[in-house]
Structure 1
Amino acid sequence: MFRGATAANLDNKGRLAIPTRYREALTNGLVCTVDLYQPCLLLYPLAEWEVIEQKLATLSSMNPVERRIQRLLLGHATECQMDNAGRILIAGTLRQHANLDKSIMLVGQLNKFELWDETRWQQQIAQDIALAPEDLHQLSDKLQNLTI
């Protein structure tokens, strides 16, 4: 399980050094793709990504919405291998999609990471914290029953 938000830097070639505590869990490869709803990237261990691919394979290419999701997720999916220094190369098209430059945030989301531009991440967190009481009616049953 991946958790926590870690500040990181991309080098001038677009490489990200994976924090040491996560490297062992990611040695079998990673897949990076776009997020459908946020200006960030999703970084999956290969085994987790293969589960996503199986689900995407069940979608109809004849349904425009399902095909759009397949096109975006699969079309941007890029395999990443860690080098001996624990770095992965984030493809230029993916960096451009998420406006990643130098300072980024690696955010654990259980089975994957989100990669955010650090400034955009701070803005997103401020929006998330500012959830207005009138928005609480939109909570799903699962979220309404979540106790922490």
Structure 2
Amino acid sequence: MNSLIGTYECKADAKGRLMLPAALKKQLSPVLQNGFVLKRAVFQPCLELYPMEEWEVLMQKVNKLNRFKKKNNDFIRRFTAGVKMIEVDASGRLLIPKDLTVFASISKNVVVSSAINIVEIWDKDKYEQAIDDAADDFADLAEEVMGQDEEDNGIS
């Protein structure tokens, strides 16, 4: 799958249904029929929507962990906590389960943001706060992550 592009504002209804923005739905159209996995993010109070093929690639990596090491089992348990299979209905909506809505503090105003090969789903206020919090440090972060020589950072 190609990289996804875009950040979109949308609304969730009282039942937790979210209409995928048309531009994002179009980008996801090749994988819509395969379904998605929705999970809690590791580092932020948001949700991550994985196309099924991306989820399977990630699970192949996780499955290589030695389960006879406690930290690996603890990681797997926490990483997969609250994981749900999700389908987009004929109207282009997805239903965010209540436990995940609570985790991400999603109410009405939502930001759906591409993150290369997955989609992040945020409460709008929390998204704006996360962007603001990172603004001061972003130049240093960009230099640290992307400013290295290609041989040093594994990016080619």
Q: Which TM-score tier does this pair reach, normalised by the shorter chain?
A: 0.7 to 0.9
2:130, 2:72 → 1: CA distance?
Answer: 27
Pair 1:96-2:102 in alignment: yes
Instruction: Tell me which amino acid in the other structure corresponds to 2:41.
Output: D
How far did 1:76 drift?
Answer: 1.9
2:117 aligns with 111
Q: CA deviation at 1:47?
A: 0.7
Change (3 A) 1:132 1:103: closer
**1:72 offset after TM fit, Å?**
2.2
Determine the structure 2 residue equivalent to 1:21: 23
Aligned partners of 2:6 and 2:24 also within 8 Å: no
What is the Cα deviation at residue 85 of structure 1? Answer: 0.4
Q: CA deviation at 1:132?
A: 7.4
Identify if the C-alpha distance between structure 1 residues 11 and 57 changes in structure 2 by more than 3 Å, giving closer, same or farther.
same
Stretches of 4+ aligned residues off by more than 6 angstroms: none
Q: Answer with 102-111 or 59-68: which moved more.
A: 59-68
Moved more, 27-36 or 61-70: 61-70
- In the TM superposition, 1:1-148 aligns within 5 A as 1-23=3-25, 24-27=29-32, 28-131=34-137, 135=140, 139-140=144-145, 143-145=146-148
Share of identical aligned residues, percent? 29
Residue 34 of structure 1 contacts residue 72 of structure 1 at CA under 8 Å; is this kept in 2? no
Contact 1:2 1:109 in 2 (8 A): yes
Q: How many matched pairs?
A: 143
RMSD of the alignment, in Å? 2.1
Structure 2 gap segments, 5+ residues each: 150-156
Aligned partners of 1:125 and 1:63: how far apart in 2?
Answer: 36
TM-score, reference length from structure 2: 0.82
- Partner AA of 1:65 in structure 2: K
> How much does 1:96 deviate?
0.9
